[in-house]
Amino acid sequence: MSATTVPTTTTAPTLWVRRPAGAKWAGWLRTVDHKEIGVLYMGMALLFFVFGGLTALTIRVQLAVPENHLVDPAIYDQIFTIHGVTMIFLVAIPVLVGFMNYMVPLMIGARDVAFPRLNALSFWLSFLGGLLVYFSFIAGGGPDAGWFAYPPLSGHTYSTGQGLDYYILGLAVNGAGTIVGAVNIAVTILLMRCPGMSISRLPLFVWMTLVTSFLILAAYPALSAALVMLFVDRHLGAHFFDANAGGDPLIWQHAFWFFGHPEVYIVILPAFGMISEVIPVFSGKPIFGYRFVAASSVAIGFLSMSVWAHHMFAVGMSDAENLFFSGASMLIAVPTGVKVLNWTATMIGGRLRFTTSMLWATGFIATFVMGGLTGVSLAIVPIDWFVTDSYYVVAHMHYVLFGGVVFGVFAGLYYWFPKMTGRLLSERLGKWHFWLTFVGFHMTFLPQHWLGIEGMARRMWTYPASTGWGTLNMLSSIGAGVMTIGTLIFVWNLLVSLRSGQLAGDDPWDAFTLEWTTSSPPVPENYLTVPVATSRRPLWDRKHPDMKDPS
């Protein structure tokens, strides 16, 4: 790679670089650049986040007071189904894949991903899949059997509309995009590292991305297979899940959760990776126990493939099965705990800078630990029997998925936004965003633990006043309102900072890793000369040649 015609922009940078004037919109359609595809993924996530958020608010409005008849019960079914499908498949995965696309080649000193055109295909398949799922609303009604679409409810007998068919088609297409994307990212990490970037020097976000890619390859095909069987059942009159004809609905549950549980780690591991980048930089120290953080992710990856049936304790499995999946699920808390230990140990004795990014990262640790603990409690079979399908589960899952994934993504976004755009997000607005979301989040989901224990079932459309659940539900709904204000501030911050945020320069955070050595936003093909990784902290080495990182 040579330094040919690339202008080095030091003042007002253009967004995501280059491209002749006039080709702006068509350019987004035909781009094969990993950075632009990364931005497309993030844009897709933001678009669907609006819908996912609006459905969440509708749920909270409906449940705010007892005996509320604001939303029709049949519509309510569609709303909670599309909320789950959207947030998992069309928000969490795309935003993380967006970050992987944008950051991984930069962090390993590569020009692009291994297969740029395939990368574009991945994005457009993922996006098309999302549109297909949403097209169901135009075609006569969305899917309404919950995001995990258990048969027989999702079979043709009980789901007579076309909503489930768009769910099947949409998720199959979306999943194909995700699988192809994972192949691409894994090959990129394995083959395109710059000189000196050995596996043991990979930034931890890249490590987590690698593990996540393998998990996607192992988990997503099970979902595709389950979707094929459901499709054949619905359209060719087959009997896979039809107990009357010798079929077994539990096959769906096994196949779905064989995908569904690794999926949880597919979305949380990259978030782990993000805060493993953020915390060392804002603690002014290298990560504590790099090898443990990396190795524990691999352990989580393996373990996550053998815990899926803890979603099925209530279906009546044998004691041996219950015991195995309960034990494996508790075991996974060990490598996760190792990570929490590493992050806190990194912060201890560091020169802490509580930037917005760092606030999100510490908020992540606090919230994720709480979600992790309720997770361990759910792995205990009798407790699971007691609270299964209740708001306790809803609370747990939002603590790890919102308090985990979303907080982690915001930590990553505030951290890398200046690299992507050349401008800093406003720290003042960012802190409002963080505190409103953090307080609103706990206000929304903490009360749901008690609601669940008191017997409020997840997905219930409304509840009688005599249950006494009104107060906690109202509190929960007010919390959702507070989060909404936080989110609106975030969108405002995004818009304002894109236009007139403070110029960032190449390395606004005094960071460690390669991506901060190139310009912000990066030049086409990322680096003017092939970078060399001299240690796990190559940029530190450049800034402190007298005390190089020994790794």
Which lies closer to another protein via its Cβ, residue 126 or residue 355?
126
Member of 121, 225, 340, 352 binding another protein (CB under 8 A): 225
Q: Is 31 in the site for another protein (CB under 8 A)?
A: no
Q: Which of residues 6-25 bind another protein (CB under 8 A)?
A: none
What x/- string results for residues 522 through 541 when contact with another protein is judged by CB under 8 A?
----------x-x-------
DSSP secondary structure letters along 397-461: HHHHIIIIIIHHHHHHHHHHHHHHHSBPPPHHHHHHHHHHHHHHHHHHHHHHHHHHHTTPBTT--
Stretch that binds another protein, among 56-64, 226-234, 272-280, 500-508 (CB under 8 A): 226-234
| Closest distance to another protein from the beta carbon of 121 (Å) | 13
CB 81 within 8 A of CB 147: yes
Which lies closer to another protein via its Cβ, residue 82 or residue 197?
197
Number of amino acids touching another protein (CB under 8 A): 45
Which lies closer to another protein via its Cβ, residue 33 or residue 242?
242
Q: Nearest CA to 214 among 260, 188, 183, 172?
A: 183
Q: Which of residues 185-204 bind another protein (CB under 8 A)?
A: 186-187, 190-198
Angle (CA) 480-41-7 rounded to 5° is: 125
Member of 229, 271, 328, 539 binding another protein (CB under 8 A): 229
| Closest distance to another protein from the beta carbon of 541 (Å) | 12
| Closest distance to another protein from the beta carbon of 317 (Å) | 14
Q: Nearest CA to 281 among 206, 202, 361, 340?
A: 361
CB 356 within 8 A of CB 414: yes
Taking the C-alpha atoms of 329, 330, 333 and 335 in order, what is their torsion angle to the nearest 10 degrees?
-80
The conformation of residue 517, written as its DSSP 8-state character, comes to G
Which lies closer to another protein via its Cβ, residue 308 or residue 402?
308
Member of 54, 61, 139, 183 binding another protein (CB under 8 A): 183
Q: Which of residues 94-123 bind another protein (CB under 8 A)?
A: 114-115
The conformation of residue 285, written as its DSSP 8-state character, comes to S
Which lies closer to another protein via its Cβ, residue 114 or residue 456?
114
| Closest distance to another protein from the beta carbon of 19 (Å) | 26
| Closest distance to another protein from the beta carbon of 431 (Å) | 41
- Partners of residue 457 on adjacent β-strands: 390
Name the phi and psi angles at 247, rounded to 5.
-80, 180
DSSP secondary structure letters along 62-126: HHSSTT--SS-HHHHHHHHHHHHHIIIIIIIHHHHHHHHHHHHHHHTT-SS-S-HHHHHHHHHHH
Cα–Cα distance list, 543 to 349, 446, 510, 512, 517 (Å): 21, 45, 9, 9, 11
Three-state DSSP class for residue 284: coil
Angle (CA) 386-388-394 rounded to 5° is: 125
Taking the C-alpha atoms of 165, 216, 438 and 419 in order, what is their torsion angle to the nearest 10 degrees?
-110
- Residue-wise over 466-479: b if at least 16 C-beta within 10 A, else e? eeebbebbbbbbeb
Which lies closer to another protein via its Cβ, residue 193 or residue 423?
193
Cis bond leading into 7, ω under 30°?
no
Q: Which of residues 205-224 bind another protein (CB under 8 A)?
A: 217-222, 224
| Closest distance to another protein from the beta carbon of 146 (Å) | 21
| Closest distance to another protein from the beta carbon of 154 (Å) | 16
| Closest distance to another protein from the beta carbon of 549 (Å) | 14
Residue 312 to residue 252: CA distance in whole angstroms: 11
CB 34 within 8 A of CB 189: no
What x/- string results for residues 238 through 267 when contact with another protein is judged by CB under 8 A?
xxx----xxxx--x---x--x---------
Which lies closer to another protein via its Cβ, residue 86 or residue 224?
224
| Closest distance to another protein from the beta carbon of 184 (Å) | 7
Residue 409 to residue 48: CA distance in whole angstroms: 16
Which lies closer to another protein via its Cβ, residue 239 or residue 431?
239
Q: Is 179 in the site for another protein (CB under 8 A)?
A: yes
Q: Is 226 in the site for another protein (CB under 8 A)?
A: yes
Which lies closer to another protein via its Cβ, residue 225 or residue 474?
225
Which lies closer to another protein via its Cβ, residue 196 or residue 455?
196
Which lies closer to another protein via its Cβ, residue 228 or residue 528?
228
What x/- string results for residues 135 through 174 when contact with another protein is judged by CB under 8 A?
----------------------------------------
Chain residues in the site for another protein (CB under 8 A): 114-115, 179-180, 182-184, 186-187, 190-198, 217-222, 224-226, 228-229, 232-233, 236-240, 245-248, 251, 255, 258, 532, 534
